[in-house]
C-alpha cells in the first residue's frame, strides 16, 4: 500500500506526525513529564491490554485485566504526580530510558483526526541492569486544535514476561 498525502489539506504531514511522536518519546526520556502530559487531550484514553492464557489480547479494559488503563488524562496526571514527588517507590530511583520508534504508518485520516500505528523499543537502565521492552502502539491524534493531541493510545507490549513494574516511561 502506498501512502498518498493530500497536499491540499491543512492536516499534519507525515514529517510532522513523526516529529510529534519523536518529541513525545524524547520528553519521556528527558523526564519532562509536564510537557509530556501536554501531548495528551483531556479526554484521552491510555490503554495497555494484557495477554490472555490463549495468547490473545484482552479487548475490554472495563471488564478484563489490563497492564495499564487510564480512561482520561487525569489518570496520567496522577501517575506523573507520583513520579515527580517520589511517591512511586517502584520507580525510585528513576530508570534511564531511550525510546526508539519505527515503522510509523498512517492508518486513516479524517478531517479532525489521524489514526497511526508504529513499533517501539525502549531500553531501560536501573540498578546497574539494562532491560528492554518492545511493542506496537496504535494512536489516534486529534488535529482539530492548534497543536496535535493524543486522543487515544493503545499499547501492545509484545514481551509481557517482565520481572518488574512497567510504567508509562517504559513504553
d(CA 101, CA 140): 16
Q: What residues contact 41, with CB distance under 8 A and at least 6 apart?
A: 73, 142, 149, 150, 151
Higher pLDDT, 110 or 11: 110
Question: Contact, 58 vs 49, CB < 8 A?
Answer: yes
How far apart CA 162 and CA 65 sit, in angstroms, is 16
Query: Contact, 1 vs 110, CB < 8 A?
Result: no
Looking at residue 3, its pLDDT comes to 46
Tens digit of each residue's pLDDT (9 = 90 or more) over 146-163: 999 999 999 999 987 777
User: With left for phi above 0 and alpha for psi between -120 and 50, is residue 17 left, alpha or beta?
Assistant: alpha
C-alpha to C-alpha distance for 61 and 19, rounded to whole angstroms: 30
Report pTM.
0.89
pLDDT, tens digit, 9 for 90 and up, residues 85-100: 877 767 777 889 999 9
- Angle, vertex CA 59, rays to CA 150 and CA 44, nearest 5: 20
Contacts of 21 (CB under 8 A, 6+ apart): 101, 104, 116, 118, 139
CB distance 143 to 105 below 8 Å: no
* Mean of pLDDT values over 54-62: 94
Q: What CA–CA distance (Å, rounded) separates 70 from 67?
A: 10
108 φ, ψ (degrees, to nearest 5): -155, 145
Residue 70, pLDDT score: 96
Amino acid at each position: 500500500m502506498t501512502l498518498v498525502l493530500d497536499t491540499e489539506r491543512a492536516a499534519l504531514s507525515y514529517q510532522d506526525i513523526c516529529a510529534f511522536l519523536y518529541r513525545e518519546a524524547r520528553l519521556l526520556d528527558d523526564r519532562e513529564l509536564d510537557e509530556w502530559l501536554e501531548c495528551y487531550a483531556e479526554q484521552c484514553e491510555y490503554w495497555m491490554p494484557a495477554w490472555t492464557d490463549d495468547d490473545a489480547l484482552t479487548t475490554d479494559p472495563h471488564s478484563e485485566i489490563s497492564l495499564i488503563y487510564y480512561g482520561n488524562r487525569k489518570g496520567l496526571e496522577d501517575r506523573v504526580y507520583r513520579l515527580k514527588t517520589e511517591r512511586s517507590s517502584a520507580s525510585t530511583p528513576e530508570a534511564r530510558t531511550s525510546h526508539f520508534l519505527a515503522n510509523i504508518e498512517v492508518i486513516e485520516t479524517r478531517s479532525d483526526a489521524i489514526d497511526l500505528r508504529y513499533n517501539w523499543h525502549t531500553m531501560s537502565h536501573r540498578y546497574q541492569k539494562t532491560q528492554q521492552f518492545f511493542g506496537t502502539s496504535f494512536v489516534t491524534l486529534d488535529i482539530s486544535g492548534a497543536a496535535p493531541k493524543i486522543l487515544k493510545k493503545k499499547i501492545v507490549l509484545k514481551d509481557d514476561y517482565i520481572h518488574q513494574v512497567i510504567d508509562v516511561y517504559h513504553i
